[in-house]
Structure 1
């Protein structure tokens, strides 16, 4: 870096005359340089406060015009230097962060996939936030480290030191958010395992649930306070590190002002919230311990292994920010800062946080798959308690092979045909006719009695006609035998007429059959045609309109024997 102050100003070398000067074997018009207030410095630059150009080989301007414009000049804020130590170390860290970014995407895909229906109480994005913040931190670190290369290559400090510092602070915020989301999601995962056997075991509106609702809001409030304190500011004074007086007057007061000193305390509050959230989850979702010492032992015992690394690394982040806010020599904002401090305290904690998360992501299963495994274990325990022995998975495949093929490759027609073969095909009547006839013959029924071998087989109408009462079986069979020789249409008409005569005996037809049908109806229940105690019209007295008989319908119903319901015809 060029170091110059007021004593570094040198006079223009003499030339051929009083209005001529020679800079790097090139003649310039000294009158024009003096008119435009150009000053020559010992670090090989010429500047008038607004414009700055290099004056050493191979960047010497070839000409200066009367209006003060240099021809073929090189701007002072140009990456003309070689990569230094700071840039070289930064490239190595950039490669590691790039690898961390790629592996984070892999773990995000592994743990972000859903194998169970999404639940309203546990949103899928909740398990992904820790990976989103890891991606953010890696991206911010890559931008900071790649712009850090130009911090060494620029001849005079300018925009690269601002970009490096800006994204370094964003990376620090992302590191704190990674640890917070890891702890918060671990508590959510413990709650999910706790309520999966019994969804109503934990309420969402109790004290525990309200604390878990407000903690993320409080954490992100303090994180955003840190953001608004550090990020939105004038970063231009950080560039003023071109000579010692400028560093003392501009750069150091800006890098160590009250806002940079207040930011780390906001991150300390965030770290305390992380510890409280971890203790809250252990208290409610792990076995409880009595006593202060036992609680401290239980906190260490039930804390996941990765948090032994994440919590100390997260504490280093605000501690190092506080250090550089008081000591400018160790700060990444310092162009000539101590490299060991910048990378060991500034970038290494975030890198380790990311890789601890990646290792944990690779060795742990997806939550949905783990939950399905736990449900399967609980189901096996319940079956064992109920003495239920389930067939192994290969049992169904063996049965399918025995049936003649794999069910999964069968079409719907083949499955239906296989089911029919198992049950038995054909119409139900044809399939069970012989069995029904045998059973009826044993019971002495006439309706399903066997047909004589000497008789002709009957038509469908004749067979349907046989399902009549036993009293009319002889006449119905004779009619059916007569109808069997007729044409189809005539047979149908005769059958319908005969059936109508049987069902409605008073509508016409054979009087003897009608009388016989009435006698059969009279056999069960009270006689429905008994004359009531009303007189005829001839026996009624004139003008009264009522009979002279003392027998009434009510009396008849009282004196008659009680009705005995024997069939649906009585009702």
Structure 2
């Protein structure tokens, strides 16, 4: 905290009531103690010994000095005792603008960073959010730097506030350049995503194009971080030495305009050139190409979005001002008494305009997932139109029962369908009853031909005796079903009802059904043929194993001798 003042600014202590007394702003101090502790009086109203600096003018004059060098009610030279100046007022106005832009930046981050489609390995969600992250960092850095301008004006002697203002201003420049880069890079990624969405295999993940897009971000951030390491690790205490004209000339100006600051400005320009190259690469690969040098130049100029034209121009103006600060200290943000117009016009206006353009773009542009879904719907409609597929209107599903009410889950839909068909909750008793019905139905199907034939014959015989002329009633053509299958019972009932309502189209009798089956194929297998085959099988088994059996049955009587097989013809 020591001061280095020019010898011409040193003043002699005023005389007091005696040789060991001095009078400062109407207060008597022990001159012997002041000289013992090596205090010096300067023309700007400060008292310093190289380690401490005190104000001596009213109302900040100390009231008492002890022999050990301790002052009572003293005020440090590095205190905000001055009123707010022009730099502080303009800085507050700019800080309010940056605070409002920060609010819209967070809204755009939520809007464009939201996912409506599954995340893809080729297009990470973080890629679309980085430009908004950098925008938030720009707002924060600018807000801190501008608020520190208040203390730059209020501090009696320059100290920490000018360092904080300059430090965050440099961070503001870096974050703004990163914002422009991420906007351009992500636009190229968005163009690639739209390009490959109809056909994911149209561009392979190898080759010169893929390697270029993989390495160019590393090159950009290499230049940006080199700019950071040339600016930040420096002797910031030299910027504070602006307490006299000689300090400004000998210490502050050489430190603010040294070779590191000049090299950092050129590195920021190199990062801007990398951004332009990336934009050219995206236009070349993902937009329609033009043949000929002149047509290519015209195509590039017409395919560049207007947003990037504005962003690149404003970022180039920002880099130009940082380069100017590296050569001319009088117009630099690091100068406490620098010219206010170039400080705010070149130092803070371009980043603010870049943020406003980004906010306007974020408000107009839709979410990328939603836009991709819309493009897929449009392509689907075009493909259906080419194939001649006509989709039913939206009210069709509501009318025909395919409509799913809002908030209805699949479980609720299944339960609603079960209630419509008359089902109920599954129980152990219901499961056992269903199994019993299934077994009975299987048994009835196996024994159906015999029972139906017998019942139909007896029914026809009885009806022929009951009705004159041998005619039978329609109901007599069907036997009474006594099984447990509700489905079969309902079928029989419907068949009887149909035969009653339409006599000319009644069902076939079992004999007529048998004749129809014979016409379609071989005669059906009857019980009489089965008994004859079993009898021939028993007779052949008693005559000897050498006789070949003509029976078609597969069963052998248990009372007869076992069959002896001599050749494959006996099997």
Provide the residue aligned with 2:16 in structure 1: 15
Provide the residue aligned with 1:312 in structure 2: 313
Distance in structure 2 (CA, Å) of the matches to 1:354 and 1:269: 22
| TM-score, normalization by structure 2 | 0.76
Query: 1:45·1:53 contact (CA, 8 Å) conserved in 2?
Result: yes
Query: 2:83·2:154 contact (CA, 8 Å) conserved in 1?
Result: yes
1:110-259 superposed matches below 5 A: 110-259=111-260
| Local SS of the residue matching 2:47 | strand
Alpha-carbon distance change, 159 to 451 in structure 1, aligned in 2, over 3 angstroms: farther
Mapped pair 1:338 → 2:339: yes
Provide the residue aligned with 1:53 in structure 2: 54
| TM-score, normalization by structure 1 | 0.76
Alpha-carbon distance change, 458 to 131 in structure 1, aligned in 2, over 3 angstroms: closer
| Local SS of the residue matching 1:452 | helix
1:272-421 superposed matches below 5 A: 272-400=273-401, 408=408, 412-418=414-420
| Local SS of the residue matching 1:27 | strand
Query: 1:76·1:155 contact (CA, 8 Å) conserved in 2?
Result: yes
Distance in structure 2 (CA, Å) of the matches to 1:168 and 1:450: 109
Alpha-carbon distance change, 268 to 401 in structure 1, aligned in 2, over 3 angstroms: closer
Distance in structure 1 (CA, Å) of the matches to 2:12 and 2:459: 144
CA shift for structure 1 position 395:
2.1
Query: 1:3·1:244 contact (CA, 8 Å) conserved in 2?
Result: no
Alpha-carbon distance change, 406 to 25 in structure 1, aligned in 2, over 3 angstroms: closer
CA shift for structure 1 position 42:
1.7
Distance in structure 2 (CA, Å) of the matches to 1:203 and 1:447: 77
Distance in structure 2 (CA, Å) of the matches to 1:407 and 1:446: 56
Alpha-carbon distance change, 308 to 517 in structure 1, aligned in 2, over 3 angstroms: same
Unaligned runs of 5+ residues in structure 1 are 422-426, 462-504, 506-511, 535-551, 558-569
Provide the residue aligned with 1:473 in structure 2: none
Distance in structure 2 (CA, Å) of the matches to 1:450 and 1:263: 111
Alpha-carbon distance change, 518 to 77 in structure 1, aligned in 2, over 3 angstroms: same
CA shift for structure 1 position 533:
8.9
Provide the residue aligned with 2:534 in structure 1: 518
Alpha-carbon distance change, 520 to 217 in structure 1, aligned in 2, over 3 angstroms: farther
| Local SS of the residue matching 1:53 | strand
After superposition, the CA RMSD in angstroms is 3.6
Deviations 1:359-386 (A, max 9, x none): 1001000000000000000111111111
Query: 2:64·2:71 contact (CA, 8 Å) conserved in 1?
Result: yes
Alpha-carbon distance change, 56 to 384 in structure 1, aligned in 2, over 3 angstroms: same
Query: 2:397·2:403 contact (CA, 8 Å) conserved in 1?
Result: no
CA shift for structure 1 position 100:
1.1
Deviations 1:219-277 (A, max 9, x none): 11111111111111121100000001111111001000110010011111111110010
| Local SS of the residue matching 2:348 | helix
Unaligned runs of 5+ residues in structure 2 are 424-433, 463-475, 485-526, 549-565
CA shift for structure 1 position 406:
8.5
Alpha-carbon distance change, 520 to 205 in structure 1, aligned in 2, over 3 angstroms: farther
CA shift for structure 1 position 84:
0.4
Query: 1:400·1:406 contact (CA, 8 Å) conserved in 2?
Result: no
Query: 1:256·1:325 contact (CA, 8 Å) conserved in 2?
Result: yes
Matched positions, count:
474
Distance in structure 1 (CA, Å) of the matches to 2:301 and 2:350: 22
Provide the residue aligned with 1:563 in structure 2: none
CA shift for structure 1 position 56:
1.0
| Local SS of the residue matching 1:21 | strand
Alpha-carbon distance change, 406 to 278 in structure 1, aligned in 2, over 3 angstroms: closer
CA shift for structure 1 position 5:
3.5
| Local SS of the residue matching 2:215 | helix
| Local SS of the residue matching 2:330 | helix
Query: 1:397·1:406 contact (CA, 8 Å) conserved in 2?
Result: no
Provide the residue aligned with 1:499 in structure 2: none
Provide the residue aligned with 1:85 in structure 2: 86
CA shift for structure 1 position 30:
1.0
Distance in structure 1 (CA, Å) of the matches to 2:192 and 2:143: 36
